[in-house]
């Protein structure tokens, strides 16, 4: 009945994988199933653990990269949160310098700084990157005349 513990562990890992979608826990679940198979075949506990670890490692090292490559090829990566703001246009609302300032970005006022001198209120800018809660911006010529 020792194999049931391994199968139960694999089921729990499989359910957690559904929540995380990282393709890591499912590889560990595969290792747990291999450990369960070793238990069902009468292997001692240390051998079950070695089999589970070895199979998990092989799945993580060989199968996961291949699966991720094919998954990314089929599904485009959609940037979310702060990453989605990089490259967007914004408008300076309080003078932006290398020390700080404020911009209106995606309908919200963000703290900002620039590496390109000082930018006055109303100037169109482009977000180069996000560092913490600060947008690093550079001058931009907005096609909408600066209204963001």
Query: Tell me, what's the pLDDT at 80?
Result: 56
User: Do 63 and 97 share a domain, yes or no?
Assistant: no
* CB 138, CB 128: distance < 8 Å: yes
32 and 54 together in one domain: yes
- Indicate the pTM of the whole model: 0.53
Domain range holding 70? 2-74
| Integer Cα distance of 137 and 131 in angstroms | 11
**Pairing mode, strands 124-131 and 134-139:** antiparallel
Q: Residues with Cβ < 8 Å from 44, sequence gap 6 or more?
A: none
pLDDT at 70 (0 to 100): 85
Tokens coding 6: 């391994």
Q: What is the CATH number of the domain that holds 111?
A: 2.40.50.140
* Whether residue 88 sits in one domain with residue 50: no
Task: Reduce the secondary structure of the chain to three states and give it as a string.
Answer: CHHHHHHHHHHHHHHHHHHHCCCCHHHHHHHHHHHHHHHHCCCCHHHHHHHHHHHHHHHHHHHHHHHHHHHHHHCCCCCCHHHHHCCCEEEEEEEEECCEEEEEECCEEEEEEECCCCECCCCEEEEEEEECCEEEEEECCCCCCCCC
Taking the chain (148 residues) in runs of 10, the rounded mean pLDDT of each run is 91 92 91 95 95 96 90 68 81 92 90 89 91 88 50
pLDDT of residue 78: 62
| Per-residue pLDDT at 140 | 82
pLDDT at 27: 94
Q: How many structural domains is the chain composed of?
A: 2
pLDDT of residue 146: 44
What pLDDT, on the 0 to 100 scale, is given for residue 147? 45
């Amino acid at each position: 009945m020792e194999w049931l513990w391994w199968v139960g562990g694999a089921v729990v890992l499989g359910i957690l994988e559904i929540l995380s979608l990282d393709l890591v826990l499912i590889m560990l679940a595969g290792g747990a199933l291999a450990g369960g198979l070793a238990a069902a075949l009468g292997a001692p506990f240390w051998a079950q653990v070695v089999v589970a670890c070895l199979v998990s490692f092989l799945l993580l090292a060989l199968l996961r990269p291949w699966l991720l490559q094919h998954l990314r090829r089929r599904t485009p990566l959609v940037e979310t949160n702060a990453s989605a703001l990089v490259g967007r246009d914004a408008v300076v609302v309080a003078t932006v310098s290398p020390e700080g300032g404020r911009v209106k970005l995606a309908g919200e006022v963000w703290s900002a700084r620039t590496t390109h001198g000082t930018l006055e209120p109303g100037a169109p800018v482009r977000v180069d990157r996000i560092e913490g809660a600060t947008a690093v911006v550079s001058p931009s010529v907005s096609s909408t005349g600066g209204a963001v």
